[in-house]
Amino acid sequence: MRHQPVHSSFFNKPTLELAQALLGKILVKETAEGIAAGIIVETEAYIGPGDQAAHSFNNRRTARTEVMFGPAGYTYTYVMHTHCLVNVVSGAADSPEAILIRGVEPVEGMELMYQRRGPVKREQDLTNGPGKLTKALGIVKEDYGRPLWEAPLYIAEGNEPELTAAGPRIGIDNSGEAREYPWRFWVSGNRFVSGTKKNNIIK
DNA sequence: TCACGGATGTCCT
DNA sequence: GGACATCCGTGAT
């Protein structure tokens, strides 16, 4: 299967808009072992300066958050304990915003994914979480800073999802009022959306 | 050297 | 489906 990367200008839109535009697109990772790809079904927006949940809150600039201060369309990988999370940098340069990819639906390289993830009970356990999908796709922290419109790691054109939903983000209970923001977006009813509470639908 | 962060998987009900 | 133990890299002291 061939995937058509998006143009670099695709990332040139407001973060909240981009977070929704990413739903239905395909996240592709090419490695020596082969290609693994999945449709993006869940995202979360993080808008640095005023968002207490973001690593770049209050323009906090460190080696880790550096890439978020660059132009949009680059990869921000974030190692959390044993897991690696993948984000799409958004916003203009000096505007530290990013979109976390929380769930994908496999479309290519299922064998690779099973190989990398080990035995899982259900198919959706392969990629229905931010740490799971990076492992399944073979995304590692070394992908930090890569442009997302060309191989080996890129966003490819896909089909518009039929119905999307929005709601509060996950796992940021200590982030003040920012936790109320409906900045999590997902494809309604999709099996590969993380978590079990899919009911706080705003849109 | 230490405090901190949040997803995963397993066990339990 | 819910609760809990475990995992380790980053940044500040």
- Give the span between the Cα atoms of A46 and A29, in whole angstroms: 23
Closest nucleotide to A172: CA versus each C1': B6
Q: Which pair of tokens denotes residue A194?
A: 């993380």
Give the rounded percent of residues in chain A with a pLDDT score beyond 90. Answer: 72
Between A120 and A28, whose confidence is greater?
A: A28
Q: What is the pLDDT of residues A139-149, one digit of tens each?
A: 999 999 999 99
Peptide bond just before A106 cis, omega within 30 deg: no
Distance C8 C1' – A202 CA (angstroms): 36
Kindly list the structural domains of chain A, giving each domain's residue range(s) and its CATH number in brackets, ordered by start. Answer: 6-185 (3.10.300.10)
On strand C, nucleotides with any atom < 7 Å from a protein CB are 1-2, 6-12
Q: What is the pLDDT of residues A142-199, one digit of tens each?
A: 999 999 999 999 999 999 998 999 988 887 665 667 778 899 999 998 999 987 544 4
The per-residue b/e assignment along A49-64, b for 16 or more CB within 10 angstroms, e otherwise, is: eebebbbbbeeeeeee
Do residues A89 and A147 lie in contact, with contact meaning Cβ atoms separated by under 8 Å?
A: no
- Look-up of token digits 């974030």: A78
pTM here is 0.93
At A5, which amino acid appears? P
Closest nucleotide to A84: CA versus each C1': B7
- Give the span between the Cα atoms of A41 and A52, in whole angstroms: 24
Residue A51 pLDDT > 90:
no
Strand C contacted by A65 CB (< 7 A): yes
Distance C5 C1' – A131 CA (angstroms): 18
Q: What is the pLDDT of residues A32-49, one digit of tens each?
A: 999 999 999 999 999 988
Q: Which pair of tokens denotes residue A82?
A: 């044993």
Strand B contacted by A62 CB (< 7 A): no
Closest nucleotide to A169: CA versus each C1': B6
Residue A95 pLDDT > 60:
yes
Strand B contacted by A132 CB (< 7 A): yes
- Give the span between the Cα atoms of A36 and A172, in whole angstroms: 30
Strand C contacted by A121 CB (< 7 A): no
